Structure 1
Amino acid sequence: MKALRIHGHGDPSVLRLDDLPDPEPAPGQVLVRVLGVSINHLDLWVRRGMPGFKVEFPRILGCDGTGEVVAVGEGVTAFHPGQKVVLEPGYSSGRSEFDLEGLDHLAEDYAIRGEHGDGFDRELVAIEQRYLCPLPDGLDPVRAAAVPLAFLTAWGMIERAQLERGETVLVIAGSSGVGSAAIQIASHLGARVLATAGSDAKRQLALDLGAESVIDHHDPDWPREVKRLTDGDGADVVVEHVGPATWSGSMRSLARLGRLVTCGGTTGAKVEITLPHLFIKNQTILGSTMGPASALPQIFDRVARGIYQPVLDAAVPMSEARAAHERLESGGVVGKIVLLPGS
């Protein structure tokens, strides 16, 4: 089989399509032919290298995707050959208190495919059945490959912020994978959704997904527009995942008693906080990593019913992964790029 691997850190030129032996399913495992794998910013960080995080090489990238069952190992009864499935991005021992409560993403040993271990940028994968969930009938597996990591991350952020019906939420970079998912999740909860985006096409997408108003975050005065739209109050919740490029504006847009929730920073790891603004306004900054795998069936049920819409920028052969990484790094992607193994 072909697999997309890196043998060292660097620019997209370090991506290599390697020939590997076809895997065989062990007892309790399912052999899946991968039909689509989304590219996430996490793939870029792993490829480039992250300070303080050691990657064992070679590493197969790819955090999440969809596939079709080819064969099942001994003891597997939940899946059968020909069945379409979702490949879950996270994994853990399954034995912690959080695992048993259905909150696997909070377990100390929680890890993400393609980051802490080999991922799904490959033609075949043998995987424990507990890391699969059925793909609802009728869903296009390529479009569905854009869902798992982005929607789980946004789901976890909205839950972490305890967003309530009627509150105002500001979603930064609303046309991104996480941003587009957050708009839809918050809108379905009954919140008033504002968003930011950097181009006319991206702003229109955010509006189409349910945002009431969308602001150009390249305008240095964009936080003032958030205040104008909220009668001077600001947003009750800010969904922030860009980091240094938008952080100051996000904090300026946050209401008194507001909650800013962040899952990372695509523009860097360090930000500044003006402490008097934080404590005088009784604001809260929350960290969030992924979301519980137990939410995936509910997420995909809503996708199947048309409540959530995966945003697919492009589906490209895995052989074109270098160009796809370059596009995502350039900021020109609207939604998600999905790689197609076997092409």
Structure 2
Amino acid sequence: MMAKMMKAVVTTGNGGYERLEYKDVPVPELNAGEVLLKVLAAGINNTEINTRLGWYSSSVTESTSAASDDGLTPESSDGGWNKETPFPFIQGTDCCGEVVGLAAGVDKGLLGKRVLVRACMREHGYDNLDNIWMGSDFDGAFAEYVKVPATEVFSVDCDWSDAQLGTIPCAYGTSENMLHRADVKAGDVVLVTGASGGVGSATVQLAKRRGATVIAVAGADKHPQMQPLGADQLLARDADLLALLGEQSVDVIVDNVAGAGFPTMLKLLKRGGRLVSSGAIAGPVVDLDMRDMYLKDVRLIGTTAWDEPVFPNLIAYIENGDIQPLLAAAFPLAEIVAAQQLFLTKQHVGKFVLLPAHEG
């Protein structure tokens, strides 16, 4: 018999770790077209921390590390991805789960399946860029159970652990979407900044899978852990990229760092090059010399809404053994504060994952 209450981490508003409350809440009740998942693993992302801090507000201009000060309060309420964040709510964008409940009319074949959740949902179809995100716009996976539309769960057949699967959805979905939008193909030279993080390490693998030559930029102390990912060249975060690579040396730049290093990125791009981004961990406000953009016919590509092929592609890559998970560490869900604090030190390679206890 399904329990009526569950443990969850409820984020009560913008602020520090005191806003994360681990407590009992009701198990979600299903509406038409939904499934109930027993959460097996939930990945940690910058997203959850940024949303709690209100970093997405236009009033905030610091880097994500500077904004991790518990005293940060956005000056306006536009701190969510699409609108005002729906506090109090349950965060958690990544979810590996088991289907344990079905609304009427949902395919009974899903029951008992181990699945990944497509966290970016295109409510109005793929001809419309409007999107909502589990764990940012509505309750997510930092709980023992979560409900999602049946259309957004994908069964996966592999020998990976639950924790390893929990590293995939947000980081790899975001990465595959960027590479898809930038039309990365065999023979392209691709530069990846922030390559040791969740999205960066995913991008190294996924770009190599497409046949690109990959140059990865990350802290030198992390290079040994990154060797197995297959980058053709590993450069230190503080390296002089222009001196080492030269102007107009790169076809595609995947840059989720931004900040003070952004002007260099455009100088590295070849004529007709593409810069694609889905983040700005070193700071969202950058210097842009328009001449570096228009005189070289450069394309700047922003990505948030995932395109239709992205998530089915990822499931196929996992099942075909084309990619590998990069699990840095797993923590009990109740230890979310310790996990996020360690996450923010940025000493790890890959992803941190939370595991609900499912007591009783």
TM superposition score normalised by structure 1: 0.90
Distance 1:314 1:97, change over 3 A: closer
Which aligned pairs between 1:16-27 and structure 2 lie closer than 5 A?
16-27=21-32
Aligned to 2:177: 156
Aligned to 2:188: 167
Match of 2:198 among 151, 173, 177: 177
Distance 1:12 1:79, change over 3 A: farther
| Pairing 1:259–2:277 present | no
Q: 2:300 aligns to what SS in structure 1?
A: strand
Aligned to 2:72: none
2:307 counterpart letter in structure 1: P
Residues of 2 paired with 1:286 and 1:292: CA distance? Answer: 14
Structure 1 residues 53-62 or 289-298, which shifts more?
289-298
Match of 1:212 among 225, 228, 232: 232
Count of aligned positions: 328
Aligned to 1:57: 87
Residues of 2 paired with 1:24 and 1:279: CA distance? Answer: 52
Q: 2:329 aligns to what SS in structure 1?
A: strand
2:116 counterpart letter in structure 1: V
Match of 1:292 among 307, 332, 338: 307
Structure 1 residues 236-245 or 68-77, which shifts more?
68-77
Match of 2:98 among 68, 74, 80: 68
Which aligned pairs between 1:293-312 and structure 2 lie closer than 5 A?
294-312=309-327
1:90–1:293 Cα contact (<8 Å) kept: no
2:176–2:206 Cα contact (<8 Å) kept: yes
1:223 counterpart letter in structure 2: L
| Pairing 1:337–2:352 present | yes
Aligned to 1:8: 13
Residues of 2 paired with 1:145 and 1:197: CA distance? Answer: 23
Residues of 2 paired with 1:223 and 1:323: CA distance? Answer: 38
Distance 1:211 1:15, change over 3 A: same
How far residue 46 of structure 1 moved from its aligned partner, in angstroms, is: 0.4
Residues of 1 paired with 2:254 and 2:25: CA distance? Answer: 40
Deviation readout 1:280-321 (Å, 9 max, x if unpaired): 222221111142354323212212332111211111111111
Residues of 1 paired with 2:138 and 2:28: CA distance? Answer: 16
Which aligned pairs between 1:180-329 and structure 2 lie closer than 5 A?
180-201=201-222, 203-219=223-239, 221-227=240-246, 233-292=248-307, 294-329=309-344
1:26–1:73 Cα contact (<8 Å) kept: yes
How far residue 176 of structure 1 moved from its aligned partner, in angstroms, is: 1.1
How far residue 91 of structure 1 moved from its aligned partner, in angstroms, is: 2.2
Match of 1:135 among 144, 152, 156: 156
Aligned to 1:101: none
Aligned to 1:102: none
Residues of 1 paired with 2:158 and 2:206: CA distance? Answer: 22
Deviation readout 1:139-182 (Å, 9 max, x if unpaired): 32210111111111111111111122111000111111111111
2:36–2:102 Cα contact (<8 Å) kept: yes
Residues of 1 paired with 2:194 and 2:100: CA distance? Answer: 38
Specify every segment of 5 or more residues in structure 1 that has no aligned partner in the other structure, as ranges. Answer: 99-105
Residues of 2 paired with 1:97 and 1:284: CA distance? Answer: 22
2:154–2:315 Cα contact (<8 Å) kept: no
Residues of 2 paired with 1:128 and 1:233: CA distance? Answer: 45
Residues of 1 paired with 2:305 and 2:327: CA distance? Answer: 20
1:71–1:80 Cα contact (<8 Å) kept: no
Q: 2:265 aligns to what SS in structure 1?
A: helix
Structure 1 residues 69-78 or 54-63, which shifts more?
69-78
The CA RMSD over aligned residues, in Å, is: 1.9
Aligned to 1:82: 112
Residues of 2 paired with 1:119 and 1:32: CA distance? Answer: 11
Residues of 2 paired with 1:290 and 1:154: CA distance? Answer: 12
Aligned to 2:129: 107
Q: 1:20 aligns to what SS in structure 2?
A: strand
Q: 1:296 aligns to what SS in structure 2?
A: helix
Deviation readout 1:89-123 (Å, 9 max, x if unpaired): 12242x4462xxxxxxx532x11112122211110
How far residue 87 of structure 1 moved from its aligned partner, in angstroms, is: 1.7
Aligned residues: percent identity? 31
Distance 1:266 1:78, change over 3 A: farther
How far residue 337 of structure 1 moved from its aligned partner, in angstroms, is: 0.5
Aligned to 1:44: 49
